[in-house]
Structure 1
Amino acid sequence: MAGSTYGRLFQISTWGESHGRALGVVVDGCPAGLALCEDDIQKFLDRRKPGQNAFSTPRREEDSVEILSGVFEGKTTGCPISMLVYNQTQRSADYREIANYYRPGHADYTFDKKYGFRDYRGGGRSSGRETIGRVAAGAVACKILASLGISFTSYVRSIGPVEIDPARFCEAEISRNPLNMPDAAAAEQAAEYLSKCKANGDSAGGVVECIVRHLPAGLGDPVFEKLSANLAKAICSIGAVKSFEIGDGFSASRARGSENNDGFVCREPGSIQKLTNHSGGTLGGISDGSELLLRAGFKPTPSISVPQQTVSRSGEPLTVRVKGRHDPLIAARAVVVVESMAAITIVDALFANMYARMDAITDFYK
């Protein structure tokens, strides 16, 4: 199976299945000398860990990470960093009845058509547990970016019909509620909405928003390696993501040029800034030095106990209720996944940018 590797210079390869022995990632291209330990990775994995609240799957996993290579005496060696997380509570028997039919909203049918078979135990590679490797790699990327002063604020912007109010935005509130929303009132409303969905055996979709601060101008290339395009690929590669926006996104298509263009100002010599940020931090696919703002739209969790119409592998009509341990909402646990994929993409762009200009190469090798 190809397609499990992402990045050019800072490259990650994830591996493992939802109900296999373990999952993990190999990170290649991390510079030597970065202070790194398992606690750095675990903090990120704990943010996506299942079974932490009423709006998360009841599957209990510690998701404890082990660093197998690439770190010596607390620092990266420049060699590939291999990380592993063992599955502890896989219950494959929960999924036996779905082996012979296709679950609506899942990749069962398309996997079958592509490979001629599928791992029906929780979806195999198409399971949300695949993101463990992405998050572990994202922790490394964020550590690199933090050393350069680049920071992230990521949160759930909306759940179903409930959206945060910018006037009530409180960054500290994100970690105070189980839905990772920066608006306490919206989080309470969303919890009520989700509780009703859950009681009815249903699920809800949501939007994750990510803000990247202190990003330098000049990252990304103007054609096929645009920063915005690579971010779109990275974010849309996350299971259940159905839409991506940067800046004003789709609303820009309804605006006039006079409304959408960001004017420039020079507040002090050598410091050019934008007056607004409708573009979301990129122009021509290249970072412009302002805040990078992106959004990912997540579909509702497809595993629901509401009766759904489907067919068996032989084409016989069936009505099914999907059983098992499932999140009624994907977006809340996916906040750290979006942040991780954005960080991995940005680190890759930073490394590529180091040889974009001859004067920078000359200065480095003098």
Structure 2
Amino acid sequence: MPNTFGKLFSISTWGESHGGAVGVVVDGCPPNLSITAEEIQLELDRRRPGQSDIVTPRKELDKVQILSGVYAGRTTGTPISMLVFNKDHRPEAYAEMKEKFRPSHADYTYQTKFGHRDPEGGGRSSARETIGRVAAGAIAKKILGLAVGVETIAYVKRIQDIEMPEDADVSLELIEASAVRCPHAGTAQAMIDRIREVRSQGDSVGGVIECLIRNLPVGLGEPVFDRFEADLAKAMLSLPATKGFEVGSGFSGTRLSGSEHNDHFEIRDGRVRTKTNRSGGIQGGITNGEEVRFRVAFKPTATLLQSQPTVNKDGNETELKARGRHDPCVLPRAVPIVEAMANLVTIDHWMRQHAQNRLFSF
């Protein structure tokens, strides 16, 4: 199913950017979990448009409605359906895009693959689809927090060539204190200034989000195809505008020798630990109890408020200057989306681990 993610805890998202609504169906959620629309709304508010002057000014409250799967404030074990209505439609801004393909956008590939597409706001290829992921991720986040104390924190590590120091403190409070969601105040201000600068030129910038998953047990992840980092990579690269994924030392590890790169084992606090964490908390595709650390690269926003050469549906060369409301940098709003997908991977593997290795005793 191309619009479904996960095996035991699965989600199916639906809807288009300028359609009537967007939403998600969550299947496999355990029963009797206390959950409210207000808890889910807290996460949606972190990704909604119009939060500051460095993101799209589209006016959407993104008010979530729970349609099924929750009764008297507790999950019933049946599918949970949630939706958010689209309110701020401006289809006239996309009239030219019905005929012309935006460079580096999904217009041409969707048109060629399906022969018919929704051009308004990018339709299904719009990041507005991620509302469903964040709503589902909020449920996964609560289960993980209650069950094993898992904490997932993502933040903007780099915008273009502006990067926060490696030794900077990271906490949710520091991250949310900045409009750009970088926990290092000095770097955050430089990032904000850069985004404002490129926005004034009708341009855009990209960067890197780093994510930490803390307090994971040993044993999540499967051999070979469903390695924990493989599913993380799929989850992250399924997000709009992503162009790269690395875990632990990532590509920088290729510059080291094996003796420099290996994480040596030791006994600490009465259990097996590693002295370093170049593995990023995963070895052999299975979590080793250390902090999982990975990074996701996001390209500059493809839709620009300046003229670009392109072609139209008839195969003629032309130019396009986009209208509408677009993020000059997607990273500040992508932070909660990265967290949501990380939590969805984690809850699915946590349930799979218990189903295979904890359910039966012989």
Equivalent residue, structure 2, for 1:169: 169
- Residue 339, structure 1, aligned to residue 339, structure 2: yes
Listed one character per residue, the Cα deviations across residues 81-111 of structure 1 (whole Å, up to 9, x for unaligned) are: 0001000111111101110011001100000
1:305 paired to 2:301: no
CA distance in 1, matches of 2:296, 2:134: 16
SS at match of 1:50: coil
Letter in 2 for 1:136: A
Displacement after TM superposition at 1:341 (Å) = 0.4
Q: Which amino acid counterpart does residue 40 of structure 1 have in structure 2?
A: E
Asked if 1:107 corresponds to 2:98, the answer is no
- Decide whether the 8 Å contact of 2:152 with 2:342 is kept in 1: no
C-alpha separation between the residues in 1 aligned to 2:170 and 2:29? 34
Secondary structure at the aligned position of 2:89 is classed as coil
| Alignment map for 1:200-349 (pairs within 5 Å) | 200-269=201-270, 271-349=271-349
Aligned twin of 1:361: 359
Query: In structure 2, what is the equivalent of residue 55 of structure 1?
Result: 54
Give 1:176 shift: 1.0
C-alpha displacement at 1:308, in angstroms? Answer: 1.0
Letter of the aligned partner of 2:12 in structure 1? Answer: S
Instruction: Indicate the residue corresponding to 1:153 in structure 2.
Output: 153
What is the match of residue 116 of structure 1? Answer: 115
What amino acid is aligned across from residue 121 of structure 2 in structure 1?
G
> Which moved further from structure 2: 16-25 or 304-313?
304-313
Number of equivalent positions? 360
State the Cα distance separating 1:327 from its structure 2 match: 0.5
The structural deviation recorded for 1:168 is 3.5
What letter is aligned with 1:247?
Answer: G
CA distance, structure 1, for counterparts of residue 278 and residue 62 of structure 2? 39
What code does the residue aligned with 2:65 have?
Answer: E
Deviations 1:238-257 (A, max 9, x none): 01011001111111122111
1:3 aligns with 2:5: no
Structure 2 equivalent of residue 183 of structure 1: 184
- Supply the distance in 1 between the matched residues of 2:107 and 2:269 (Cα, whole angstroms): 57
Q: Distance in 2 between matches of 1:239 and 1:255?
A: 32
Distance 1:343 1:153 in 2: 10
Q: How does 1:82-101 map to 2 (within 5 A)?
A: 82-101=81-100
Note closer, same or farther for the CA distance 1:268–1:84 as it changes in structure 2 (3 Å cut).
closer
State the percentage of identical aligned residues.
47
Residues in 2 aligned to 1:288 and 1:278: alpha-carbon distance in whole angstroms: 12
The alpha carbon displacement at 1:8 in A equals 0.4
Given the two structures, how large is their TM-score scaled by the length of structure 2?
A: 0.97
Partner SS, residue 17 of structure 2: coil
Distance in 2, matches of 1:361 and 1:35, equals 24
Structure-2 separation of matches of 1:146 and 1:61: 29
Cα deviation, 1:287-321, whole Å, max 9, x if unaligned, reads 00000001111000111122211001111111221
Q: Please tell me whether the aligned partners of residues 281 and 292 of structure 2 are also in contact (alpha carbons under 8 angstroms).
A: yes
1:7-30 deviations in Å (ceiling 9; x for gaps): 000000000000000000000000
SS of residue matched to 1:209:
strand
Aligned to 2:78: 79
Residues 213-255 of structure 1: CA deviation (Å, up to 9, x unaligned): 0000100111111111001001100010110011111111221
Answering whether residue 63 of structure 2 is matched by residue 64 of structure 1, we say: yes
C-alpha distance in 2 between matches for 1:362 and 1:354: 9
1:16 equivalent in alignment to 2:22: no
- In structure 2, what is the Cα distance between the partners aligned to 1:146 and 1:14? 24
How far apart in 2 are the matches of 1:261 and 1:170?
25
Distance 1:168 1:13 in 2: 37
* Stretches of structure 2 lacking an aligned partner (at least 5 in a row): none
Q: Closer, same or farther in 2 for the Cα pair 1:268/1:95, shift >3 Å? A: closer
Displacement of 1:356 = 2.8
Conserved? CA contact 2:29–2:78, under 8 Å: yes
CA distance in 2, matches of 1:73, 1:199: 49
User: Distance between the aligned counterparts of 1:49 and 1:16, measured in 2?
Assistant: 16
Which runs of no fewer than 5 residues in structure 1 stay unpaired? none
Off by >4 Å, runs of 4+ in structure 1: none
Contact 2:100–2:320 (CA under 8 A) maintained in structure 1: no
Given the superposition, is the C-alpha separation of residues 239 and 71 from structure 1 closer, same or farther in structure 2, using an over 3 Å criterion?
same
3-state SS in 2 of match to 1:362: coil
Q: State the distance in 1 between where 2:279 and 2:312 align.
A: 47
Q: Which amino acid aligns with 1:320?
A: L
Contact kept? 2:16, 2:124, Cα under 8 Å: yes
SS at match of 2:13: strand
Looking at structure 2, the residues matched to 261 and 291 of structure 1 have their Cα atoms a distance apart, in angstroms, of 16
